[in-house]
Amino acid sequence: MAHVTIKEILTDARKRQYAIPTLAGINLEAIIGIVKAAEEKKSPLILCYNQQLTPQIPIEISMPVMVSIAKSAKIPIATILDHGSDFSLIMRSIHSGSSSVMFDGSGLPFDENVARTKEVVKVAHALGVSVEAELGGVGGSAVEAVETAATESVFTDPEQAKKFVELTDVDCLAISFGNVHGKYKGTPNLDHERVKKIFSIIEVPLGMHGASGLTEYDYKSVIKCGISKLNYFSSMCRGTYPMLKNLVENSGEDVFCLNLISMSIDFWYRETKQLLDICMCSKKAQGDSGDNFIKNLSEIISDAIKKQI
């Protein structure tokens, strides 16, 4: 359908209170399976590149693949650099074709986060690229086997969030409200009232990083409170282990790497389909440009030409 920015699709998600998952295009099998599921569910989608997840795959290789697939997909797909912490990587992402970038200055003092985010926004917006930023600190890790409690995070202050958005003109704000990257320590305790407060005083869509390991009720609750962008990776990634274990145990010495390709595509496809339903974004990509084009064409051409189509 179209390669779009996060601003284009998240604006509708915020308005109609559903969330769009941001999923990591860690390899070709994952990308194919994820996009296949989104097309079948008629859901908008965000594909991201995260250097920490795939340090051996340069963004100059990974991002153009995602961009190419996004341009030919039947549904709107945004591409984004996830947790970009330096200006050079952000520019490499833009040069590689990403429609959006995330500058993560959450570990900086407020004023420095504002200043550096403003510089990224200035350049990105001039090039038609959307920007996500983060305020507060989401703890944990998506790449290390650690368990993190939300108490180790720095929760986003609502009034600071309002000021931050006004000063930076970002298109999406990732917030901290009890969410953590990777595996939670104990039962997640999400501050729904904090999300509601931030949603009520700022106008840009809100992002949630660290969305793995929650119940379906948790997901739907935070979406109703105002989360529009949901970054999800760790649970899916861990889910590949049983698939690999089963392949090796059942194939023995006959295991072949080519068998893994189709199995991986099917795995990401099945997992993504379930997630899209939970995010309530299925069928939100209906009425795409192709349908509208045919409809508009039929209104202006003559009956004689219609008969020849």
Please report the pLDDT score of residue 184 as a whole number: 54
Q: What is the CATH code of the structural domain delimited by 2-308?
A: 3.20.20.70
CA proximity to 138, closest of 206, 220, 56: 206
The domain limits of the chain are 2-308
Please report the pLDDT score of residue 181 as a whole number: 63
Q: Do 80 and 4 form a contact (C-beta atoms < 8 A)?
A: no
What whole-number distance in Å separates Cα of residue 125 and Cα of residue 296?
31
Please report the pLDDT score of residue 188 as a whole number: 73
DSSP-derived pairing of the beta strands 227-231 and 2-4: unpaired
Q: Do 223 and 19 form a contact (C-beta atoms < 8 A)?
A: yes
DSSP letter (8 states) at residue 152: G
Please report the pLDDT score of residue 258 as a whole number: 75
What whole-number distance in Å separates Cα of residue 303 and Cα of residue 299?
10
pLDDT, one tens digit for every residue, the chain (309 residues): 689 999 999 999 999 999 999 999 999 999 999 999 999 999 999 999 999 999 999 999 999 999 999 999 999 999 999 999 999 999 999 999 999 999 999 999 999 999 999 999 999 999 999 999 999 877 543 434 344 444 456 899 999 999 999 999 999 999 999 887 655 555 678 999 999 999 999 999 999 998 777 888 999 999 999 999 999 887 787 777 787 788 777 777 777 777 788 889 999 999 999 999 999 999 999 544 433 333 333 343 344 433 443
Please report the pLDDT score of residue 18 as a whole number: 98
- Give the position of tokens 């591409």: 79
Q: Which of 12, 82, 191, 288 is catalytic?
A: 82
* Active-site residue, 82 included: yes
Please report the pLDDT score of residue 262 as a whole number: 87
